[in-house]
Each structure stands twice: as structure tokens, then as C-alpha cells.
Structure 1
Amino acid sequence: MAIDPVELTKRLVNIESTTYHEGPAGHFLYEYLASQRYEVERMAVAQPDRASTPGAGTGERFNVYGAMAGINPDVVLSTHMDTVPPFFGCTEDDEFLYGRGTCDAKGIIAAQVAAAERLRESGVKVGLLFVVGEERDSAGAAVANTSPKGSKFLINGEPTDNRLALASKGALRVELRAKGRMAHSAYPELGESAIDKLVEALHDVLAMPLPVEPEIGPSTLNIGLIEGGRAPNVIADTAEAHILVRLVGPSDETKRAIAETVGDRADVEFSLDLPFVRMRKVGNLPTMIAKFTTDIPKLTAWGEPFLLGPGSILCAHTPQEKIAKKELLEAVDLYVELATSLVRNS
């Protein structure tokens, strides 16, 4: 019986697998792929330190890789098992599936599994790689990159509205930590406000010019988290902010500009640096530019990368996350078309 990607999506979405808690989804996919006659492998991925990583789990987490026994795949279909919080299960109407992960990226998992079934029936040597941690730090992809399987091509899945991405932006995560000296707020001259330092530094960072790539667009910068201080009547001795820059080129220039702009007002740490990636057009497949970042920069050992998937990134990470059933079925055909074309012309 052919795999139904709609039904498989519903089963996957109803398994909670927010980042650091992917174990149940991994176990399900391991057993499911084994039932489809794949030789399946687990790649263990360590949990981060809970003291330094809010939300870190304690359970088992691992990547899942499957292929037919004894083959080195020519092409590997890959995406991630983890989702952003909060978890909410699957509902549906005639047109759409709704729920956390429907488009990012459990519907993609289902479409890739269905496509792989058709590819192997046609004689294409295909593998499936499903990783953890994409929504945070690509930890699963980094582990997978130490154990490549010799594939020539990697087709990564993210919501691209079933269009082939010609580029994806990089990501630079920046953490600023300012230090001060506590004092009674009635006597500010006796203290040194870490919050004042941080706010001034952030003001200047926001005013920085950022690189622009004519065919892609500008780099963008978001201050996503600010915290610090003790109480309204206490001069703040600590404050920090977390920034994410979407890169359209090498990170060196942006890192240097941020460090120089902040100066001695705060310590600067670059905790994630995923590069901008260009990819090539194939045949007549419709194309797009991905303004987001993927696992591709961490999967360099898995072959030439391509990026394609059903669903819209505009509803990913939102309470309205959904995917059209028709688009899921179309994605299966597109994955088969792309993989077949790549292998045939290699």
C-alpha cells in the first residue's frame, strides 16, 4: 500500500517534539521506517546543559537515518523533527491540516517518506535523514555531518511553497552582556547602570548599516530578547540582550561592525554563525529566495544541497500553522522529479 502523506502528517503532528524533546518523534520514525523495509540508524545527539539552556530536556534525542540495506545513496531527503513551542495537536478541514509542525516540518517529513518510496521503486538509491535541533542550533545536523553516507545530493526540506530555493540567508546570533554596579536608585551617582549601557549600545547597533546583496536583498537584524536589573528602585548591575542577524553574505564584516559599535559597553558573544548559501536552478521548477536559515550549512558532507518543501514559512511558528493537503501531495511529486533529475544528469 502506498504511503499516504496526509495521514502520516497527522500522526507526526500529534507527537510532541519541541526542540530538546524530540525523543518520541525519533522513536516513531525509527519504527515506521523499519516497517517500510529500511535499514534504520540512530545518531545520538547530546542534551545541552540545563543550567545554561532554558527549556533543555533530560530525555533521549537522536537523528534518524534510513536507507535500503547495503546501499550508498545517490540522493538523501532530509528535514528536522523538532518544532518550536508551544505544542498543539492536529485538526483538519477539507482543505488544510492545522497544528504545530504541519508545515515546519512534519508535513515535509511525510512528503519525503512518500517520495522515497516511489524513488526506490524506480531504482533510485535514496536515503532519508531526519535530524533534531534545527529550530535552535542545528545540533543534530552537526552530528550527522560527522557520519555522511556518500550521497551526491542533499534535498533539504523547509516551507518554500513548493518552490526550489536559489539561496537561503545565513544566521548570526549575538549575545550582549553588560555589567554595572548596584546602588539605591535615589542615588544613581553611586551606581553604574548595566541597563543604560545596554540600551545605548542597542540603539547604536540598530542604527548600523547592514550588507545588501542585490539579488537577495538586505541583511536584517532583530533584537529578540532583553532582560536585566533587580527592581525599579535598584540601579541594575546586569543586563543582556540576544540578537539575530539574517545574513546575505559572509559574517566577518557584520561581526566586526557589531563589536566595534558596542565597544566596552557590553561583552559580545557570537553564539551561532550559519553562513549564507547559494544553490542552483534545476529544470523548470519554480524558484524563490529563502529569507530564513536551514540545516544546510551544517550538512556540507552530504552532497550538493537543494532546498524545497510544501507550506508557507509565513504561517510557521504561528498559532495558525497549517498546510494544504493538495500541496503535500504536490510536494511528493516534486521531490521525485527533482531527485530523479539530479541522479539522471549526474
Structure 2
Amino acid sequence: MTATDLDAFATFVPTPERVAQAADQLVRLVDADSTSGAEEPAVAVAAAICDELGLAARRLPVAPGRDNLLVGAADAPVMLCTHLDTVPPFIPARRDATHIHGRGACDAKGVAVAMLHALRLLQDESRLDGRVCCLLVVGEEADHSGAKAAVAAGLRPRVVILGEPCGLAPAVAQKGLLKLALAASGNAGHSAYPELGTSAVHVLLDALYALRHAALPQDDLLGETTVNVGELHGGVAANVIAPEAHATVLIRCAAPVDAVLEAVRDLVPPAIALTELSRAEPREFATGGGATGPAVPFNTDANWLAATGAELMLLGPGDMRCAHAAHEHLAVADLAAGITAYARTAARLL
């Protein structure tokens, strides 16, 4: 599509009435608990929103009781894609004069609503009708099951515009991840005689300290590799030398995952069992040739959707720094800007 073609309709600025409708719909979607693995309430609300917008949607099975939602033609060359699942705990919607608050408002239900309204604007332009679709997936926050199912279903767009909150500047790259389970064993005993036993908790804490303070592989574009100890369990009582301890660690990899894993193995003593739970390599994105944002430190469905063979972009309204937090929110102004950004970006790619 030429610049002249775009000039005829590519403002794609939603009316105040459309923005108000989108904000109301986002409140409803946030109020639908969709913690990963139990996304059906949000899928049902999203399907209802599609009906309200006159968009044809169909469910694509992922697992019993879990479906992706495909909106528009399955063979569309450009696909908008984001996720409906959220991390725990559920936080119901709250609205003030300028923002919508609650779990998923930013990551990524606001993105989903913006995409649906962008698709409506695109379909209203006859030259674009049928050439852009939207896929709302489940499982992104957990095991990427929705993205994997989409690939298995045979979806093969030419371009996927992934939606995650990144300030509406196309991200140039994302960090990879490495999720590990660490298990330490000790010798139980009376805590008054520490010399007679070995505390698994102490062994594990020492290893975690070393891991958190190590100089792990870095990258000029992606920066530092970071470590988060997300779960930590161990011991049986305060007066007992701990016989076992367990931790789950998520490492945001700025370098190839194998290089990071090798560094971790060098740091963790043989007494600790190390189990790899999941991994995803760092990835660069297409940017559409315009202004770009930075590389992002979080992970997305990109590595799984790459199996479609599509070119991948990452773009979305909101600030990921408030996601997964008690104060998660999205400005209504950003929701409106997201509608415009998705419609314009998709149109330029056709």
C-alpha cells in the first residue's frame, strides 16, 4: 500500500464515543478473572466485545476448557496478537477519571481491547477488510500453550504484530529467559548443635547469593542478565537443621541461554540439584522502518510464534513496569493511542 493510499484514511483516530466504549469494555475484561490456566471468563467477555463491534470471532481449542480467540480471517497476511491470561492474584477493575486499574489492565487486556477496535477501524476501510486478523491467546504468562496451539492450528500470517506494553514504540529486541529449579539436601539435627548437621537452607541461600551477585553474560543491546528468586521453600521448624530446601529462579538472559546456563552451573555447587524448567532465546524484532523504542527485558510469545515463519514486531500501549503489581493500570489516553497505533501499523504493512 502506497503513502498516497494511506493518506486517504490512515489517521485512524478513534472518536470520543469509541474511546468511551473501549474503556467500558476494558473494565469488563479486567473484571473477568483469567489467571493462567483458567482464562475462560475473559475469553467469553472478549467474544462478547467482538459481537458488540460486529467482528466475526471463533474459538480455537487449546486444551479442555481453554480456547484462543481468532477474530477475522485465518488467512489474513497481518495478524495482531496478544494474550488474555494474567498472573495471580486477581485484582478487580477500578476506574478513575483518567485510568483503568486492575490485574491485566496493562498486561495485556488493554492491548487486546485496543487491537479489537483497531481491527474494526481497519475493516471499515474496504481496501483492508479481510487482510488483518487478531488472535487473542491463553497461557502466555505460564507455558505459552496458546501460542503453541496457534502454530499447530496452521496459522501462517506474513507479519505478526505482538502486543505488550512498551510505550507504543516498536521494541527492537527482547531478552531471553531461563527458568530453573534448585534443590538442596541437608542432614537434619537439633539447631543447638549446628556442627552435627548440614542445613539445606543455608547451602541454598549461599548458592542463591552467589548467583544474584555474579557477573553473568551481558550484551551491548540487551544489557545485563538479571536473576529473580521467585519461590523459596525449606525446612520443617525453626529449631531443626533444615533437611531440604527448594527454589525457583527466573533468569532474564541478555546472552544466548546456553552461555548463561554454563555460567550458572559453574556457580552452583554439585550438592544442589539443578533442573531446567523452560527457556527462550533472546530475539530481535522488525520495527517497520520508523522510530523505535529500546530493547525490552521481558519475554513474550515471540519465540513460539516465530514457528509460523512470520516477521515479528512488538508494539503496545502502557508501561510494563506497572504490570504484575498491585498498582497495575492503563491510561485511557494510552488505550486510545493504542487503537490508532495498531491500525496505522497494520495498514502500512499491507
Pairwise same-fold verdict (TM > 0.5): yes
Cα distance in 2 for residues equivalent to 1:154 and 1:167 = 15
Paired residue for 2:120? 117
CA contact (8 A) 1:181 1:192 kept: yes
RMSD between superposed Cα atoms in Å: 2.0
Cα distance in 2 for residues equivalent to 1:67 and 1:30 = 12
Paired residue for 1:18? 35
Cα distance in 1 for residues equivalent to 2:303 and 2:206 = 33
Cα distance in 2 for residues equivalent to 1:156 and 1:306 = 6
Structure 2 residue matching 1:203: 3-state secondary structure = helix
Cα distance in 2 for residues equivalent to 1:286 and 1:8 = 29
Structure 2 residue matching 1:314: 3-state secondary structure = helix
Paired residue for 2:100? 97
Seq. identity, %: 34
Distance 1:265 1:207, change over 3 A: farther
Distance 1:93 1:147, change over 3 A: same
Q: Which amino acid aligns with 1:66?
A: V
- Number of corresponding residues: 328
**Which digits, 9 at most, give the CA deviation of each residue in 1:262-288, with x for residues without a partner?**
131210011120111101332334422
CA contact (8 A) 1:221 1:244 kept: yes
Paired residue for 1:42? 60
Cα distance in 2 for residues equivalent to 1:265 and 1:29 = 49
Equivalent in 213, 238, 242 of residue 236 of structure 1: 242
Paired residue for 2:349? 342
Paired residue for 1:174? 180
Structure 2 length-normalised TM: 0.88
Structure 1 residue matching 2:295: 3-state secondary structure = strand
Cα distance in 2 for residues equivalent to 1:30 and 1:264 = 51
Cα distance in 2 for residues equivalent to 1:39 and 1:134 = 20
Query: Which blocks of at least 5 consecutive residues in structure 1 are unaligned?
Result: 47-59
Q: CA deviation at 1:63?
A: 1.6
Distance 1:262 1:12, change over 3 A: same
Cα distance in 2 for residues equivalent to 1:283 and 1:201 = 45
The answer to whether residue 80 in structure 2 is matched with residue 63 in structure 1 is no
CA contact (8 A) 1:315 1:322 kept: yes
Aligned counterparts, 1:203-218, within 5 A: 203-218=209-224
CA contact (8 A) 1:73 1:149 kept: no
Paired residue for 2:318? 311
Cα distance in 1 for residues equivalent to 2:143 and 2:349 = 29
The answer to whether residue 217 in structure 2 is matched with residue 199 in structure 1 is no
**Which digits, 9 at most, give the CA deviation of each residue in 1:221-276, with x for residues without a partner?**
12222210111121211101111111112100111121222131210011120111
Cα distance in 1 for residues equivalent to 2:305 and 2:133 = 14
Cα distance in 2 for residues equivalent to 1:246 and 1:95 = 33
Paired residue for 1:83? 86
CA contact (8 A) 1:201 1:265 kept: no
Q: CA deviation at 1:307?
A: 0.6
Query: Which blocks of at least 5 consecutive residues in structure 2 are unaligned?
Result: 1-16
Paired residue for 1:158? 164
Q: CA deviation at 1:115?
A: 0.7
